[in-house]
Chains A and B, each alone.
Chain A
Amino acid sequence: MPPKAKKQKEILQDERLQAIVLTDSFESRFMPLTAVTPRCLLPLANVPLIEYTLEFLANAGVNEVYLMCCNHADQVQEYIDRSKWSDVGSPFKIATIMSLESRSVGDAMRDVDNRGLITGDFILVTGDVVTNMKFDGALEFHKAKKAQDRNHIATMVLTQASPFHRARSKDDSACFILDTTNNRCLYYQDIPNYYLHDKKTKRKKRGNKAITIDPELLEDVDEFAIRNDLIDCRVDICTPHVPQIFQDNFDYQYLRKDFLKGVLSSDLLKKTIYAYITESDYAARVCNWQTYHAISQDIMARWCFPVCPDLSVVDEDDEMTYESRHIYKGSNVVLAQGCKIDGCTMIGSISSVGDGSRVGKSVIGKNVTIGKNVVIENSYVWDNAVIGDNVQLKYSVVANGAQILSGAVLNRDAVVGYNVTVGRNMTLKPNTRISAQRVKYNSGLSDNEDEEDDSLRDEAYVGEEGVGFAYKSDSESDSDTSSDDEDYSDHQFHIMDLKFDSLELSDDESIISATASKKKSRRQSSTMYETDFDEDDEEEENFEKEAIATVERAMENNHDLDTALLELNTLRMSMNVTYHEVRHATSSALLTRINHFVATQTLAVVPAVKKVLDQWGPLYRRQVFEKDEQVDLLNIFQILCSQEDVEPNGASFFFNIVQRLYDMDICEEENILKWWHQNEKAYEGDVKLVQLSAGVKKFVEWLENAEEESEEESD
């Protein structure tokens, strides 16, 4: 019987299990260390991170492993070539794929698709997973769901924990909305930690006050759960459709934010993704310093048994012995008589601890020399580091080969990079990061001071004898100010998860853009490009025209939002214009629409603005991302509303639009105020602008007052 034979063949094919390991996270949370070493080779409990992932894959019964390497790909390849995984006895075939061009998870997935690596269902995993999970359960779940649901394309493995579990990354906390009957994922929403934001300005908190679920996604669902207590360890079982979908949607960057959300909310794809939730297993991801600390502690406390320092041997020569109170010691460790080792501590081989020193809840690498009367708590000292006498290390990381000279104090959240020397009696401020070479956060916007500065070291940080430069990320200034906050004491090791969120333009920059836009008086705005950029002119004009036509068409024919967004995005990419132009075109089309309603007396101003913006305002969600872009949007509307063709309703349009944008959270209060204060002075002379902004002025005043009230209220 031929058909039967065919069926068997299919099953055979299914059984070969492949795994794609993304060794790069395309983030910069471990900078400046990751400027030197790839993230997946950073040591966790003295073992390179990637080992945990590979160990898990070996236990899961994977046959082929592909490592997608990007940053420092050569180092990863070299490591793998020398490791036991490339030996004859390795449980799987392993190959490193040089995907040097990739800039995001999306790029890597498209590369996977281009190379045609995938033959069947595969495990997609990041190179930083630590888990002891029994994978059979998840795989069976995946197969069962696949049999039931033809549209099933992926199963996410999630572990249940509390929302404030220490191994749950505060940066990546997210809600999964799951159908309670079958665990189908209906929606995904990332929600940055509320308490973290609470510490900062109030406004930030307001920006993310709700999870918004489109009721269309909830049709036919009787009951669903909003889960904010899951650890997403990024272990996904995918069908070959997944890389294809990345290929088809060239704008997908992130696995969750773009891909998962995109697939779930797409009307066209009609694919489903399920979640497999395990309660008893340990699974977590080392994705920032907070989780690095938490997972190190968990491993030592044997929560992840049998993944334990004394059981999983990477280096045959280096055996760990396990003692009570979770103390691990390598071979040839020298401990002075008067030193004290507290619980949950690991000391690598050939390391020595001097007299009167105390080490607790820490990991000490190999060949580390620790002087006398040193206090090390909740800290990580990597191989070959030298710690001088009387040093205090708390909640800090000292990388390979670094030297902390005697008397230095690293009290909180300091990261000392490779081969850095911190001078005598220096005290590092919380959140300091030091690297041996000058490493810049590739923001492209960092201040000029750094470049002009040719000194050999940042003496303020490392002292005269020191070697090293402070590493500054753009968001650092933020956290510096907040770290003075007294309340931080209850957030130990908290700032270690420094956020590298959206880049902020320096103030100067935005003032320039504001003044520039002020100059664009009514008629000029359309003609300005002609004089300034002759060559680009045609293209931009075209874009403006086409984009307006696109939005108008969408409104006319009542397209759905996704289609309009896609069209606009495609247009933007093909014409290579900035988001400013997209916003300008969108706003112009929307305003024309509002004006049309009002001019034909179909609707009054308030309902017209509400109707148009409620339906089409969400377009801005994909056009306005950052603070200054919100300011820009307000400027655009200001210009558009002052044009003659919307007379005499310009002022009331403008006021209502601003108010609506605020209501819809497109423009946050903070940025409305910022925009207002930038422009306020310019209004004084201009009668027209004063008229235009009279309503907005009241609104802004109200905003400022309301803020005070709300502060009182919440206490």
Chain B
Amino acid sequence: MEFHAVICCGKGSGLAPFSSVRSTGMPKALLPIANRPMIEYVLEWCDLAPFQNITVVCDPLSAPLIQNALDFYQTKRSADVQKLTSIELVTLSGATGEIFQSLKDKITTDFLVLPCDFMTDLPPQVLIEAYRSRKEGNLGLSVQYYNTVETVEKKNFQPNYTLFAQGKDGHNTLLDMYTKEHVELAKALQVRTHLTWRYPSTVVSTQLLDSFIYICSQKTIGIINSECKNVAAKSCTKLMRDLARRSWRFKEPRGTVGLFVLPKQCSFLRADNLAVYMETNRMLMKEKAKVAALSQQTPATKEKGAAGIGADCLVGDLTVLGERTTLKQRSVVGSNCTVGKRCRITASIILENVTIGDDVVLENTIVGSGAVVHSKSKLLNCNVEGSFVVNKGTSAKGETLLQISLEGLGVDEYESSSEGESGSEGSDYSDFEDDDDFEDDGLFDR
């Protein structure tokens, strides 16, 4: 297809302590879902189309690791697809908006911006079709979705106040977006009167979630570079919102941004926080169990005393499970792990190179790579950072076990640097005019 896909690999602050915001973590794009780096799912999704060019964007630090993963993925791709598309890695140091600056020469067609953390059963053709049949004057399409997963607590989703106009023909126009935090902070949802005159029947949804999938026409690059300030410091979300606001802020209507709401029948998840990350793992495990049940393979008769692995569980290569250890309820154990005897692992995720002693009970817990859990420990609803050593007989519930290190203090360093607020009164004035209530409202998290 004539599209250029841009995959943004963030640091994954929502997936701390397993993502690269901690020195022990790995880039979000490489965190495994069912023992495969999550970016592979995105690449696979792209290859369904397939798109002409794929550009993966990440920060310089994680570039080598991601490059490895991409090389590995290339080897798995079918030859047909390989011929059609190319994958390229580009490093950026700013926010995702920098795409519009740095890639302006590379992107010569309409393009998609994708996150590295989504999973969906919706084929890309649906989105492309929605984009192709867009209304005249539409510059792009923002894809949003309703949460359909009931097993994850609501607080793990952060829906925005999304303002859009419903067209009679089924085409929605995105008008504005505000985060819940911004509204709560301001104690008010402010809707410009301009907007109500241009779009007299505006619908506001408090449930729509941003998918971070945007399909943009090539023109947007020019518009954004000429009209927006500080492009590199803004996220794509914010730039799209600025584009959307163009439709009503000016006397003469300018281009609009469409809004495509994913149909409720399809499942769409973004593994951008731990709860959803676990959920995506479970979803895949459930699928696996279904497939296994359909193929009616009766599991090989178990040797007495051997480890019991549920049909909906997965164990990586080179992993050794001790006697009478059981894996239940969609648990995943990464490769190269050693699990002791008589362990009970329920609904948990264990990343690579983890050593687990005897008689350990893990329930609904994530264990980071390289961690060691000594015997007789009992962890319930815990997150164990990579390389952490859990002492013998530890019993914990709902805790996050972190390495004690100095760098822990600087977790937010990366994010705050791009949104640095100048306290000095003099420079505030420049923002007054426009950014007064358009100010950074946290729509930005990568």
**Cβ < 8 Å to B, chain A residues 213-244:** 213-215, 218, 221-229
Q: Once the chains are docked, how many angstroms separate the CA of A228 from the CA of B203?
A: 11
Which residue of B163, B192, B200 has the most chain A CB atoms within 10 A of its CB atom?
A: B200
Q: What residues of B have a CB within 8 angstroms of the CB of A214 in the complex?
A: 187-189
CA distance A702 to B433 in the complex (A): 11
B183 to chain A, nearest CB (A): 5
- Most B C-beta atoms less than 10 A away, residue of A215, A222, A223, A229: A215
Judged by a CB distance under 8 angstroms, whether B206 is at the interface is yes
Q: A215-B183, A614-B187, A714-B251 are in contact. Are A225 and B202 (CB under 8 A)?
A: yes
CA distance A299 to B163 in the complex (A): 37
Closest to A615 in B: B187
What separation, in Å, do the CA atoms of A212 and B436 have in the docked complex? 15
Cα distance, A583 to B437, chains bound together (Å): 27
Q: A210-B190, A213-B189, A663-B436 are in contact. Are A221 and B197 (CB under 8 A)?
A: no
Q: Given A163-B200, A180-B203, A606-B423 in contact, is the A226-B433 Cβ separation under 8 Å?
A: no
- 7 pairs, A vs B, C-beta closer than 8 Å: A175-B196, A210-B191, A222-B207, A224-B204, A228-B197, A228-B201, A714-B251
Give the distance in Å from the alpha carbon of A229 to the alpha carbon of B433 in the complex.
Answer: 29
Q: Judge if A191 is at the interface, Cβ distance under 8 Å.
A: yes
A177: nearest chain-B partner, CB-CB: B204
Does A269 touch B at the CB level, under 8 Å?
no
Residue of B nearest to A164 (CB): B197
CA distance A330 to B46 in the complex (A): 75
- Is B193 located at the chain interface by the 8 A CB criterion? yes
Bound state CA distance, A180 and B187, in angstroms?
23
Q: Is the interface of B mostly helix, strand, loop or mixed?
A: mixed
A706 at interface (Cβ–Cβ under 8 A)?
yes
The one of B189, B251, B433, B436 that contacts A215, using a Cβ cutoff of 8 Å: B189
Question: Which residues of chain A have C-beta atoms less than 8 A from B202's C-beta?
Answer: 225-228
User: Which residues of chain B (122-180) have a CB below 8 Å from chain A?
Assistant: 163, 180
Q: Known A210-B437, A706-B432; judge A225-B203 contact (CB<8 A).
A: yes
CB of A508 within 8 Å of the partner chain: no
Contacts of A226 in B (CB 8 A): 163, 191, 196, 201-204
Instruction: Give the distance to chain A from B389, nearest Cβ to Cβ, in Å.
Output: 42
Interface hits, A675-715 → B, CB 8 Å: 695, 702, 706, 709-710, 714
Top-7 shortest CB links A-B = A229-B200, A228-B196, A210-B190, A228-B200, A163-B200, A213-B189, A212-B188
Report yes or no: A211 in contact with B191, Cβ–Cβ below 8 A: yes
Q: A224-B203, A225-B202 are in contact. Are A163 and B433 (CB under 8 A)?
A: no
- Complex CA gap A702/B431 in Å reads 12
Q: A163-B200, A194-B194, A702-B429 are in contact. Are A213 and B188 (CB under 8 A)?
A: yes
* B192, B193, B201, B433: residue with the most chain A Cβ atoms closer than 10 Å: B193
- Rounded to whole angstroms, the CA-CA distance of A226 and B163 in the bound complex is 9
User: Do B433 and A211 touch (CB < 8 A)?
Assistant: no
Residue-wise, chain A 179-214 has the 8 Å CB interface mask toward B (1 for contact) of 010000000000100110000000000001111111
* B303 interfacial contact with A, CB 8 Å: no
Alpha-carbon distance A710/B249, docked complex (angstroms): 13
Q: Which residues of A contact B433 (CB under 8 A)?
A: 706, 709-710
Q: How far is the CB of B246 from chain A (nearest CB, A)?
A: 13
Among A209, A223, A229, A695, the residue within 8 A (CB) of B203 is A223
Most buried by A among B180, B184, B189, B206: B189
Is B418 part of the binding interface, using a Cβ–Cβ cutoff of 8 Å?
no
User: How far is A194 from B248 in the complex, measured between Cα atoms in Å?
Assistant: 13
* Chain A 412-453 per-residue mask, 1 if CB under 8 angstroms from chain B, else 0: 000000000000000000000000000000000000000000
Q: Which chain A positions have C-beta within 8 A of B101?
A: none
Question: Which residues from 195 to 218 on chain B have a C-beta closer than 8 Å to any C-beta of chain A?
Answer: 196-197, 200-207
| B402-446 interface code vs A (CB 8 A; 1 in, 0 out) | 000000000000000000000101000100110011000000000
Interface on B for A, CB 8 Å cutoff?
Answer: 163, 180, 183-184, 187-194, 196-197, 200-207, 250-251, 423, 425, 429, 432-433, 436-437
Quick check: A191 and B189 within 8 Å, CB to CB? no
The docked-state distance in angstroms from the alpha carbon of A163 to that of B437 is 25
CB pair A209–B192 under 8 Å, yes or no, is yes
Residues in chain B near residue A212, CB distance under 8 A: 188-191
Further contacts, 20 of them, CB under 8 A, given A214-B189, A215-B183, A218-B189: A180-B203, A194-B197, A195-B197, A210-B193, A211-B190, A212-B188, A213-B188, A222-B207, A223-B204, A223-B205, A223-B206, A225-B201, A225-B204, A226-B202, A228-B196, A228-B202, A614-B187, A702-B432, A706-B432, A706-B433
Question: B429 to chain A: which residues have CB within 8 Å?
Answer: 702, 706
Residues of B within 8 A of A513 (CB): none
Chain A hits for B250, CB < 8 A: 714
User: Is A162 on the interface with B (CB-CB < 8 A)?
Assistant: yes
**Smallest beta-carbon distance A175→chain B, Å:** 6
Contacting residues, chain B, for A614 (C-beta < 8 A):
187
**Which chain A residues border B193 with CB–CB below 8 Å?**
191, 194, 208-211
- Once bound together, how far apart are the Cα atoms of A710 and B433, in whole Å? 8
User: In the complex, A659 Cα to B301 Cα: how many Å?
Assistant: 77
Hey, which chain A residues are within 8 Å of B204, CB to CB?
A: 223-226
Determine the distance from Cα of A118 to Cα of B204 in the docked complex, in whole angstroms: 38
Decide: A215 and B184 in contact? CB cutoff 8 A.
yes
CA distance A211 to B191 in the complex (A): 5
How does the 8 Å CB contact mask read for A584-611 relative to B, with 1 for contact and 0 for none? 0000000000000000000000100000
Please determine whether A210 and B192 come into contact, CB atoms closer than 8 angstroms. yes
Chain A: CB-nearest residue to B249: A714
Point out the residues of chain A lying under 8 angstroms from B183, CB to CB.
215
* CA of A222 to CA of B436, assembled, Å: 27
CB distance from A695 to the nearest CB of B (A): 8
Are A227 and B200 in contact (CB-based, < 8 A)?
Answer: yes
A158, chain B: closest CB distance, angstroms: 12
Within the complex, the shortest CB–CB distance from A221 to chain B, in Å, comes to 6
Quick one: closest A residue to B193, CB to CB? A191
Q: How far is the CB of A349 from chain B (nearest CB, A)?
A: 42
CA distance A614 to B185 in the complex (A): 10
> How far, in whole Å, are A709 and B193 apart by their CA atoms in the complex?
21
Question: Which residues of chain B have C-beta atoms less than 8 A from A224's C-beta?
Answer: 203-204, 206
Q: How far is the CA of A221 from the CA of B205 in the complex (A)?
A: 8
Given contacts A224-B203, A228-B196, A228-B201, whether A213 and B251 have CB atoms under 8 Å apart is no
A227-B196 Cα distance, complex, nearest whole Å: 7
Contact residues, A107-155 vs B (CB, 8 A): none
B contact residues around A606 at 8 Å (CB): 423, 425
A108 to B194, CA, bound (A): 35
CA distance A195 to B183 in the complex (A): 28
Assembled-state Cα–Cα distance A218/B160 (Å): 13
